[in-house]
Amino acid sequence: MAVPTDTQQTYQTIGIREDLSDMIYNIAPTQTPVMNLIGKENCSSTFFEWQTDSLDAADGDNKNIEGDDATNDAAAPTVRPGNYVQLMDKVVQVSSSQQAVTSAGRKKELAYQLAKRSKEIKRDMESRITQNYPSAAGAAGTARETGSMESWIETNEDRGATGAAGGFSAGIVAAPTDGTQRAITEDLLKGVIADCWTEGAEPTHVITGSFNKRAISGFGGIATLYRDTGQSKQQASIMGAADLYISDFGQHHIIADRFSRDRSALVIDPDYWCLAYLQSFKVEKLAKTGHSERRMLSVEWGLKCKNEKASGVVADLNIV
């Protein structure tokens, strides 16, 4: 059907007001579950240290002759591990004109950008914590690096063929060597949990990526696959995932972390990890060199592993 002659249409009209929503939609994930689980403290040096200790192995043959002289037992010294802090920042520069105009979805561009960069740094920290980064002392021309969870863990581990643990030695935390990937199984997870228990640990959380989170949901030791609605008339939910795994040695919360290493499942006790801050989050003005404003958001922190035997890792897992 033809449009009548001289009909005014939107295609020729000048001055139609734009319809721009006053909202900005961003679905990039910002959850940092491990950072939220572990503790926080301050440190006073770029290399911060602590001490660990252990007891002698149990000896059921400990016996002595009546009236005999006492004999000294050898005393082992404490172990003194340490880690380096890592300096992270995000720098924002916004022109004075941009600050003056009216923008949709935010009042001022500078404040909006700073809020956005703060979320980005927290994502960076979560990624650093949960993956396999080594520590580095740094130098005049290189940055310091903090060793991550997987790099710390060396006692309670299960790795694929040719895989090897990293661990702390001579002041440095080394990254593990990746091995042959394989499917995660319930026996692998139970084995690492049992190793932790044998060392005296009671890990409460398993951190993994999406693929292996789904694989764990199929294990036989899951707590339940339904939700009890009681006497309510609410329709029962169909549950296809497990958030709680029950082993012979306790209950373990299964947490999917978007920033963790997909090929590893970390078995941790959060009480034995914490963030050590040399410089807490802060925003500083940078030198003004023209018609713009600059701000630097920064944080300097390190990962403290109070005792690596309190946690474990099932490494070299399939991710598809």
Nearest to 122 by CA among 43, 32, 196, 201: 32
* Confidence (pLDDT) at 319: 94
Q: Which runs of E-coded beta strand occur in the chain?
A: 39-42, 47-49, 82-84, 86-95, 156-158, 167-169, 172-174, 205-208, 244-247, 250-256, 265-268, 273-285, 292-305, 312-314
Tens digit of each residue's pLDDT (9 = 90 or more) over 264-286: 999 999 999 999 999 999 999 99
What is the pLDDT at residue 318? 97
Residue 25 pLDDT level (bands cut at 50, 70, 90): confident
User: What are the boundaries of each domain within the chain?
Assistant: 33-49+81-229+237-314
At 239, the pLDDT band (50, 70, 90 cuts) reads low
Q: Mean of the per-residue pLDDT values for the chain? A: 90
pTM across the whole model: 0.88
Predicted local confidence at residue 106, as pLDDT: 84
pLDDT at 93: 95
Q: Is a pLDDT exceeding 70 seen at residue 235?
A: no
pLDDT range class, residue 210, cuts 50, 70, 90: very high
Asked if the model's pLDDT at residue 6 lies above 80, the reply is no
Q: Strand 265-268 vs strand 250-256: parallel, antiparallel, or unpaired?
A: unpaired
Residue 53: is its pLDDT beyond 70? yes
Q: Which of 23, 147, 169, 131 minimizes the C-alpha distance to 86?
A: 147
b/e per residue, 138-165, with b = 16+ CB within 10 A?
Answer: beeeeebbbbbbbbbbbbbbbbbeebeb
